[in-house]
Structure formats: C-alpha cells, structure tokens
Structure 1
Amino acid sequence: MADQKTLKIAAIGDIHVKENREATLHDLFTEISKAADVLVITGDLTDLGKVREAELLAEDLRACAIPVVGVLGNHDYESDCAEEVGNILRQAGMTLLEGQSTEIDGVGFVGVKGFIGGFGRRMLGSFGEPTIKALVGETVNEAIRLENAMRRVRTERTLVVLHYAPIVDTVAGEPPEIFPFLGSSRLAETIDRFRVSAVVHGHAHRGAYEGRTPGGAPVYNVAAHIEKPTGRPYALLEI
C-alpha cells in the first residue's frame, strides 16, 4: 500500500563474539541504532557457542535502541549450549527466530538457521547410507520449518532471515569444493513459494553480497566480512 512506512533494516552476520575479545560491539550497535529501525543478525553470534560469549554479546546489545531480530548459526552450536545461548540473548531483548515469525511496523520477519546440502543439480540427495539420509533429512526439516513459519505471516512485506545460503550466487568467491557446506537450494525452493521482499544470510565469509532466487527474490549475504554498499560491516535495506 502507498501509505506504508518504509522500514530501514540493518543486517549483519558472523560477528563471532569471543571470550577474549579486545573490542566490543557497543559502538557499532549505537551507530546502527541511529541508521536503522531494526537490526537483524544472521547467525554465528558467538565464536564457539559458549555461555560467556553470549553474555558478552548480551551486554553489547544494551547499546541497541532499536528491535533486534536474529537466528543462530553453526558456531552457536559448537559447545552444545545453544539453548542456553539462545535464552541469554532473548533475556537481553533479542527476538531469536527458530522456525517462527515476528512482525515489526508492518514487516514480517521469518527465520531459521537453514543447513547444508548444495545447490541446483548438484544438491545432495537422500540416497545410500543412513548418515547421508539423516543429513539430507535435517536440510529438509529446516526447509519445512521455514515453510510453516511463512504460512503464518500475514504482512505484505516479508524478510527471510537465514544463516546458511539459499542460492549459489552469494557463496561465489568461496572455494567451490566447500559450496555444498554453505547452504542448500531447498531453502530457495521454499522461499519461492511465497511473496518475499528480501532474504538475508551469512556463513559464506568470502562470498558475494547480492543474488536472486530462481523466483526472483533478492538475496543478500550480510556476513560482516563481505564488502557492502554501505562501506560498513552491516548492510542497510529498505523494505
């Protein structure tokens, strides 16, 4: 609708907060609060999924004067404390999406971590050993969680938040040998069944900033390491 307010969204991923860090994110989050209406963090919030790392990030999040939405990444699971990490961040005011959606000023935010599996015709199939079938099953489950969350969205504008990539274009720049471990086309297949304003993800530190799903949805790799039009570690999107 013409009278809808444009929402400015700052998006960043792979901030990898460490226990022994030398600098905080306080100033960056203060800057983002002045530049955007919402902050989205696309996983790998912590470096090793440790409780102390989550506590340090929670302290930094106090600098945010805007809503914060995010998903977990693979690093956030490393120490088998993902549930506790998530609880700490929720208590700090972050809306952590794990197959859910939330609405802010007329924009729906839908998030899952996603998983690996590869892209297009080279996508791994559920065939052979039980371990392979279990791996593919996890990818399919993440796509199903995303679809179920999308079906609950009632807004005209929607941002999909992932950690793993849904398309190959935004992992280009990484070694081709590791493409299958950076995301899965199954996520894009789900996204393209719905009307989506944009998709953000991280994980591919040496990937490319921008691409599109086969259905035309814009996709942005917002890992902190990726060069962005802002010249800053975060991207700014208007939805």
Structure 2
Amino acid sequence: MIIIATSDVHSPRYLLYYMASLSRHAEDCKKASLVIWAGDMVERGRVEALRPVLEATQRKCPEARIVAVFGNEEYMSREHEFVRAYDNVVWLNDSYIVVEEEGKSIAIYGSRGALDRPTRWQRRNIPGIETIYKRRAERMKIVLSQLRNRTDIVIVVTHYAPTYLTLEGEKQEIWPELGSRAVERALLEARPDIAIHGHAHNSRRLEAMLDGIRVLNVAFPARKDITIVKL
C-alpha cells in the first residue's frame, strides 16, 4: 500500500512546488491508495485556495482517497466552509475512518493535535484553549487504544507535532508552541504504528522512532517534497 503524505503547502505559496513534486513521483502517485494532508494546505483560511491543490492531487493520484486534518491556517471558524466546499475530501477532526486494503484493516485517526503552550494569539482569541488541548489529547488516547484492539494498522495524523523528537532544527524555546508531550504520552500508551504530522517547517529531523512508533514530519517546507509511505 502506498500513501502520499504532506502538509503546509500554504496554497498558493508552495502550490507550484507541490505540483512539481507530484509530477516527480508520478508512478507512486498513480498507485497510491491514500493521500494524507496534515494541515495548513492553504494560507490564512483561504477556502478557495484549496481548489488547485485538490485538482492537482486528483490528476496525479486518481485512485487515491484524500484524507485531511485541519491546521492552524484552516481556521476553526471556517471548518464548515472547507467541509462543504470539498465534500470529496475525508475531513478528520478528532475522528477516524477505517479502510480495508489487501486484507488488512487500517484505521486513520485525525486531529489538529495539541500544544503544550498555546501561542499568544491563541490565548487571546480562543477561549479555553488549554482545556481544548487537554481534552483532545485525552480523547486521542482513548480512541487510539480502542482502534489498536480492533484493527491491524493504526495511523494517527495531526497538524501539530505529537512529540518533540521531530522538532530538532526549530528553536528549542518554542518547541512547546509546536508540539505536545501530552500527545506523546497518549501515543506511548495507545501504541499506533505510525504518527504523521506537519507544522515544523524548519525541522532537520524528519523521521524518528518513538519507542517503536514511526513518527514522520511531512511538512512540505521542511522536506521540499511530498512524502511516500509504503506499508
């Protein structure tokens, strides 16, 4: 099974580079069963900016189901607009789907994720953001544990980093505003197979093992490319 994963295209900022990357990996894209977008696929909540991203993806990955989570640039206040405008994308928002592939059941749980320290903007503009992040991590642990017992492969997709391991290269003092140790603890308890995230544009460690859990930072600005995941 081939999965194409990316995030942080910030369309239109990196749109042409994303399209070129899809072309470079044309054969894998044709065979891909899933495309995963780990958030921030548009710039500043621009709902219409996702259209060329979607069209380019569908041209190059015609057989793939597109699964997405929201990032901080897909504003919470506009989630319903993205869902309504792009109903052929599976939007996961602290929710999951299960797909069957080659006799295996594969669960994909998606969420924005959480931060250990909300940004100054979030503290000013999102009431109760600390509580939201705490509950999000708790829900993730419960649902992932259930999926672990019911399915063969469990993949978790978040926008924010679920561990600090893949934040190396970012300024260490802002790591709490890029990822979450609470989510890391949830993963260590629930034991998914793969954790995919974005958000960390300057990361130099793009892949890590978290006690046997494969963690991938698929942020396009960090990789300068899409990510091919083969199960």
Q: TM-score, normalised by structure 2?
A: 0.81
1:23 partner amino acid? L
Counting matched residue pairs gives 215
2:74 paired residue number? 76
1:236 paired residue number? 228
2:98 to 94, 98, 103: 103
8 A contact 1:24–1:60 mirrored in 2: no
Q: CA deviation at 1:183?
A: 1.1
Paired residues for 1:18-97 under 5 Å = 18=12, 23=16, 25=18, 28-29=21-22, 31=26, 33-63=29-59, 64-65=61-62, 66-77=64-75, 80-89=77-86, 91=87, 93-97=88-92
Q: Find the aligned partners of 1:68 and 1:12 in 2 and give their Cα distance.
A: 11
SS in 2 for 1:74: coil
1:189 to 176, 182, 185: 185
2:220 paired residue number? 224
Q: CA deviation at 1:186?
A: 0.9
2:198 paired residue number? 202
2:192 partner amino acid? V
**RMSD, aligned CA:** 2.8
Q: Find the aligned partners of 2:81 and 2:187 in 1 and give their Cα distance.
A: 29
2:169 paired residue number? 173
2:9 to 7, 10, 15: 15
Q: Find the aligned partners of 1:70 and 1:157 in 2 and give their Cα distance.
A: 18
Q: Find the aligned partners of 2:73 and 2:6 in 1 and give their Cα distance.
A: 15
Deviations 1:148-191 (A, max 9, x none): 43245221111110100011110110112221110111111111
Deviations 1:87-141 (A, max 9, x none): 322x2x21111111112222111111112115xxxxx9xxxx9999933212112
- Using a 3 Å threshold, how does the CA distance of structure 1 residues 142 and 210 change in structure 2: closer, same or farther? same
Q: Find the aligned partners of 1:131 and 1:22 in 2 and give their Cα distance.
A: 29
SS in 2 for 1:150: helix
Q: Which runs of 5+ in 2 are unaligned?
A: none
- Using a 3 Å threshold, how does the CA distance of structure 1 residues 21 and 169 change in structure 2: closer, same or farther? closer
Of 26-35 and 165-174, the range deviating more from structure 2: 26-35
Q: Find the aligned partners of 2:51 and 2:127 in 1 and give their Cα distance.
A: 36
8 A contact 2:21–2:226 mirrored in 1: no
1:98 partner amino acid? N
Q: Find the aligned partners of 1:33 and 1:192 in 2 and give their Cα distance.
A: 31
Q: CA deviation at 1:55?
A: 3.3
Whose helix proportion is higher, 1 or 2?
2
Q: TM-score, normalised by structure 1?
A: 0.78
Q: CA deviation at 1:24?
A: 8.0
Q: CA deviation at 1:12?
A: 0.8
Q: Find the aligned partners of 1:22 and 1:201 in 2 and give their Cα distance.
A: 19
Identity in percent = 25
1:3 paired residue number? none
